[in-house]
Amino acid sequence: MYLNCHSFHSLRYGTIPLEDLVSRAVLCGLKAMALTDINTVTGIYDFIKLCQTAGIKPLVGIEFRSAHQLRYIGIAKNALGLAQMNRFLTDHNFSGKPLPQTAPDLDAVYFIYTLDNIPQNLNDNEFIGIRPDELGRLFMPELRSRLSKMVVLQPVVFRTKREYNLHRILRAVDLNELLSKLTENDCCRKSDVMLPLEELEAYYKDYPQLIENTQKIIDSCNFHYDFKTPRNKRFYTKDRKGDSRLLTTLAYHGLEWRYGRNNPAAKARVEKELKVIDELEFGGYFLITWDIIRYSNSRGFMHIGRGSGANSIIAYCLGITDICPLELDLYFERFLNENRKSPPDFDIDWSWKERDDILKYIFERYGYENVAFCGTNVEFKYRSIFREVGKVFGLPKDELDLLAKNPMKMHETNHIVQLVQQYGMMLEKYPNMRSMHSCGILISEEPITHYTPLEMPPKGFPIVLFDMHTAEDIGFDKFDILSQRGIGHIDDTVKIIEKNRGIRLNIRDTRISKDEASANIYLAQGRTIGCFYIESPAMRGLLRRLKCDNYKTLVAASSIIRPGVAQSGMMKEYIFRHNNPSKFEYFHPVFEEQLGETYGIMVYQEDVIKIALHYGGLSAADGDILRRAMSGKGRSKAALQKVKDDFFTSCRAKGHPEMLSQEIYRQIESFAGYSFCKAHSASYAVESYQSLYLKVHYPIEFMTAVINNQGGFYRTEIYIHEARMAGAVIHNPCVNKSSFETSLHGRDIYLGFMHLQNLDSKLAQFIAIERERNGEYASLEDFISRVPMGLENVKTLIFIGAFRFTGKPKNELLVQISMLLNNFKPENRGLTLLREPVKELKLPELERSVFEDAFDEIELLSFPVSCTVFDLLQTRHRGDVLVKDLLLHHKKQVRMLAYLISTKQVPTKKGNMYFGTWIDHEGAYFDTAHFPDSLLQHPFQGGGCYLLLGTVEIDYHFPTITISKMAKMPFIPDPRYGDSDKRFTTQNQIRPDISSTQRQPYPQENEINLPRHRMKF
């Protein structure tokens, strides 16, 4: 009898999670029910599964609303009916047109109108829904004559009085309205709850025809969904055989390309993988990915194939990845095996500048009807909850900020705040809005509207209304099309090298960069700023602690730096064993044989498979079930228990002592959830080497590319510093030399107009376009006649020195531009200025120091260019020790003067501490540790230079300074402001990079639960 049930997927309207909705239906004795969320089918597939488990017949539909007004309720008779509704809603989502007042002509859909919105004529598939409290109106002749077209309508929106209040809060949030100003029409009725079936039917005892009509609809609706059938585009060619033939041909061509004509191990691996791929019918998936890569290569784009797909030699032979699985002993089963029914996926990265081109190709090649982005549910989270809920209660912005930023125990305790907290906590994990998955693409065999309506976000690519987990459940294998700035760094560097030096470099050939000798020297020294994934202070410190000078160690470092591995204590243990190989024993010979590369530690997810296989005797496929289940990705507890039982049975059969097997299983269980995919790390490491190779051999070009791709971990100033340290000469923007982006001429770097904070970006781009079109600017007057720029923007260019080619000082240019533009009318541009040259004025010569220019630069760029920050200090003292001498001062107290680069706040058991990264006046980097007690007396006070006092600690070759005291050093007064109070405010615009983490404190050495010695029996 329930044809209109809402879950919390009726965004900012429904209050009931799907599981609770079905549980409530069971308690109420329902044998059938319809899920009809507002303008979406997000929850229908989970709903179907839940109903099947509960023994309830699921009906699926959509409640169609336009501008918050209910139009009609649609219920699918079958799969065709769902597809018809999806296409109808998609058309309106794309066009932006309001839904019509009357339902469309969809023959496989039942439509239900409310009494307030009955059309004059009803089609055979259209009915009128009558609520219990509306039965009294049926005495009216015009309604009584239509009983044959009436059905029971008992909407379900909430469960309890508290949830009704929550519903009202959601409506106020949705309408951006105060709770007190909601009207009755803004909310559902207080009766919109699920009643026991007998109680609901009792209301209609005098109108049995309505119950019969309702039951007929329920009986005639039969929506079935086969969750086991793949929904992806099945074949790249016409059929499975064609796919198999093409994939085999491509694989063997690639085998010769990658390995030569005589490599038995590689050939055997290719044959093995081809067999599994064909049996699981994933040939089309590989070929579509290959096709995308083929297009990318034809456009000259660079890509990085990473993720578990790099475990496949077929992917390597097809050029999808650049990771040889034989070299790193990567198991194909980690990616695909006969027991793994969930889809595999390739993660493919492109430059952020080229990704849209790739997306456009995919949509055009495979059809806009058959391709869409995955959706994602953006949930209410802590900060957004308290802001949104507090706002509908009428709290002012200051109080909302306090609620959002502070933990609940620090909130006020008044009645309103208690209500905000109470209802806010109820909203946690509720979906708030639908959005677009960052990278997941679905390519469907059938039109995607068979399964969902589509929405068209501003990005211009359609999205489905369910997330990646639902997509996987209903048979879709997503393609992850990602972008990152690291590839932009590499790609742009190659182009700049060719333009600047005339050298064409094939950086895609990873053989020239991976394990390159000079790059390994830089790697071991942590000289990696600007390089993908290995430039952060934590990573540079790890590289130095490991003296990382080869590819395999870098692969390990890329894994153990990950939060899970580090938080488990395995990072500390790995560093210890790497530096002290004689001070531990391998727990078992299998650990030495299989995990010798990582000193017996299960760093990688593949290591779980290895131990399960070589110690426990399980198959690699069962080992992957173990790995997935323990990492939280396995959904079947029964499957995990079976593999666990098989593990111990096999261990006994192999004669292993029970206690030893128990301990090894405990280690697997402990570390499987923390470990990281080795193939993923290997892909990162290859890209890191490509970046590092370019930094080592073409540092100025590389840093220019990093700057133009808007950096990485650090702010632009740091990459400019790196370029200067590499021998570049840094110039402020110039209207005759600079472009929107930073440009390189030999060793001269001209900063781009994009870095000027106060300059209009469209005009900034136009400066270079106009110069390319009509030649260099001859004078300030010439510039004004050609570029439609207002007074304030031109002043910005003058203050940064962009007209220094004229040879005139800034003060004269400022007077000149004021005369030109103060009374200037835009319609006269190009006429008046050319006919009436500005009179040359003789102004008194004003001395201008380099420091005035430096303060101009801080104001406009946020850092100085004309001199260093050290030159702006009042003190001439530069500290007693330089970075190059720190290794000689272990356990000694030192005093240093340094410029703050970045800070990171991390939790410890004694409170929050900070790590700082600095440069000394020679430009070298070093790191500091600041414990909570020190910070109380000597806190950070923003960006700038500090005098530091602390003790040097050498931790595995890497020096850090534990700070006991520090004080920020004042700049000279800003000479532009005379005796004004502003003389000391400009330096506040220099800010460090700031980051923090909310992770649990890392374990101490004694808390790392990994034995260093074998068990005694």
Dump the DSSP string for 833-877: HHHSPPPP---------HHHHHHHHHHHHSS-SSS-GGGGBS---
Residues 564, 719 contacting (CB under 8 angstroms): no
Q: Residue 948: pLDDT band by 50, 70, 90 thresholds? A: very high
Contact partners, residue 657, CB within 8 Å, separation at least 6: 1015, 1017
Across 15-19, 301-305, 449-453, 623-627, least confident range: 623-627
Residue 899: per-residue pLDDT: 97
Residues 453, 680 contacting (CB under 8 angstroms): no
Residues 318, 254 contacting (CB under 8 angstroms): yes
Residue 840: per-residue pLDDT: 62
Distance CA 403, CA 410 (A): 8
Q: Residue 333: pLDDT band by 50, 70, 90 thresholds? A: confident
Q: Residue 629: pLDDT band by 50, 70, 90 thresholds? A: low
Q: Residue 567: pLDDT band by 50, 70, 90 thresholds? A: confident
Residue at token pair 């840094």: 730
Residue 834: per-residue pLDDT: 45
Taking residues 866-891, what's their average pLDDT? 95
Please provide the distance, in angstroms rounded to a whole number, between the alpha carbons at the two ends of the chain.
67
Distance CA 753, CA 637 (A): 58
Taking residues 505-534, what's their average pLDDT? 95
Distance CA 976, CA 855 (A): 8
Of the candidates 990, 951, 952, the one whose C-alpha atom is nearest the C-alpha of residue 971 is 990
Taking residues 452-468, what's their average pLDDT? 92
Of the candidates 503, 553, 546, 502, the one whose C-alpha atom is nearest the C-alpha of residue 525 is 546
Residue 999 has pLDDT above 80, yes or no: no
Contact partners, residue 856, CB within 8 Å, separation at least 6: 799, 800, 801, 976
Taking residues 420-433, what's their average pLDDT? 90
Across 42-46, 411-415, 472-476, least confident range: 411-415
Residue 848 has pLDDT above 80, yes or no: no
Residue 631: per-residue pLDDT: 61
Distance CA 431, CA 453 (A): 18
Residues 344, 396 contacting (CB under 8 angstroms): no
Q: Are strands 431-443 and 371-379 parallel, antiparallel or unpaired?
A: antiparallel
DSSP 3-state of 970? coil
Residue 827 has pLDDT above 60, yes or no: no
Taking residues 436-454, what's their average pLDDT? 93
Residue 635 has pLDDT above 50, yes or no: no
- Kindly state the percentage of the chain with pLDDT values over 70: 95
The overall longest dimension of the chain from CA atoms, in Å, is 102
Residue 75's φ and ψ, nearest 5 degrees, are: -125, 125
Strand order in the sheet with 743-745: 729-731, 748-750, 743-745
Of the candidates 32, 125, 47, 129, the one whose C-alpha atom is nearest the C-alpha of residue 80 is 125
Across 167-171, 674-678, 883-887, least confident range: 674-678
**β-sheet bridge partners, residue 900:** 918
Residues 514, 551 contacting (CB under 8 angstroms): yes
Q: Residue 340: pLDDT band by 50, 70, 90 thresholds? A: low
Q: Residue 499: pLDDT band by 50, 70, 90 thresholds? A: very high
Q: What is the mean pLDDT of the chain?
A: 91
Residue 758: per-residue pLDDT: 83
Q: What is the DSSP letter of 999?
A: P
**Residues 790-826: pLDDT tens digits?**
899 999 999 999 999 999 999 889 988 988 887 665 5
Q: What torsion, rounded to 10 degrees, do the Cα atoms 636, 638, 642, 647 define?
A: 60
Taking residues 284-301, what's their average pLDDT? 95
Residues 913, 906 contacting (CB under 8 angstroms): yes
Taking residues 118-141, what's their average pLDDT? 93
Between residues 836 and 842, the one the model is more confident about: 842
Classify residue 108 as exposed, middle or buried by CB count within 10 Å of its CB (0-12, 13-18, 19+): middle
- Whole-model pTM: value is 0.85
Of the candidates 413, 234, 258, the one whose C-alpha atom is nearest the C-alpha of residue 321 is 258
Q: Residue 887: pLDDT band by 50, 70, 90 thresholds? A: very high
Instruction: Copy the structure tokens of residue 592.
Output: 């030495």
Would you tell me how many other CB atoms lie within 10 Å of the CB of residue 426? 18
Task: Quote the Cα angle for 537-542-547, to 5°.
Answer: 125
Distance CA 929, CA 916 (A): 6
DSSP 3-state of 170? helix
Classify residue 530 as exposed, middle or buried by CB count within 10 Å of its CB (0-12, 13-18, 19+): buried
Taking residues 985-1006, what's their average pLDDT? 80
Residue 218 has pLDDT above 80, yes or no: yes
Looking at residue 234, its amino acid is R
Between residues 1011 and 365, the one the model is more confident about: 365
Residue 524: per-residue pLDDT: 97
Residue 677 has pLDDT above 60, yes or no: yes
Taking residues 297-306, what's their average pLDDT? 92
Residue 209's φ and ψ, nearest 5 degrees, are: -65, -35
Residue 360: per-residue pLDDT: 95
Residue 832: per-residue pLDDT: 46
Distance CA 961, CA 889 (A): 10
Residue 712: per-residue pLDDT: 86
Residue 266 has pLDDT above 50, yes or no: yes
Of the candidates 587, 582, 346, the one whose C-alpha atom is nearest the C-alpha of residue 479 is 346
Task: Quote the Cα angle for 363-367-373, to 5°.
Answer: 50
Q: Residue 400: pLDDT band by 50, 70, 90 thresholds? A: confident
Of the candidates 851, 767, 850, 780, the one whose C-alpha atom is nearest the C-alpha of residue 812 is 780
Residue 30 has pLDDT above 60, yes or no: yes
Residue at token pair 């531009």: 817
Contact partners, residue 461, CB within 8 Å, separation at least 6: 359, 363, 372, 373, 436
Taking residues 637-656, what's their average pLDDT? 84
Residues 254, 286 contacting (CB under 8 angstroms): no
Contact partners, residue 176, CB within 8 Å, separation at least 6: none
Residue 844 has pLDDT above 80, yes or no: no
Taking residues 527-531, what's their average pLDDT? 97
**Residues 695-720: pLDDT tens digits?**
999 999 999 999 999 878 999 999 99
Distance CA 122, CA 128 (A): 9
DSSP characters over 503-540: ----TT-GGGTTT-HHHHHHHHTT--TTSTTS-SHHHH
Q: Residue 647: pLDDT band by 50, 70, 90 thresholds? A: confident
Instruction: Copy the structure tokens of residue 912.
Output: 């929050």
DSSP 3-state of 807? coil
Distance CA 806, CA 786 (A): 16
Residue at token pair 């010798």: 596
> H or E element: which one contains 211?
helix 208-220
Residue 248 has pLDDT above 80, yes or no: yes
Residues 308, 679 contacting (CB under 8 angstroms): yes
Residue 458: per-residue pLDDT: 83
Looking at residue 160, its amino acid is T
Across 104-113, 398-407, 423-432, least confident range: 398-407
Distance CA 421, CA 250 (A): 60
**Residues 51-86: pLDDT tens digits?**
999 999 999 999 999 999 999 999 999 999 999 999
Residue 749: per-residue pLDDT: 97
Instruction: Copy the structure tokens of residue 608.
Output: 């779980």
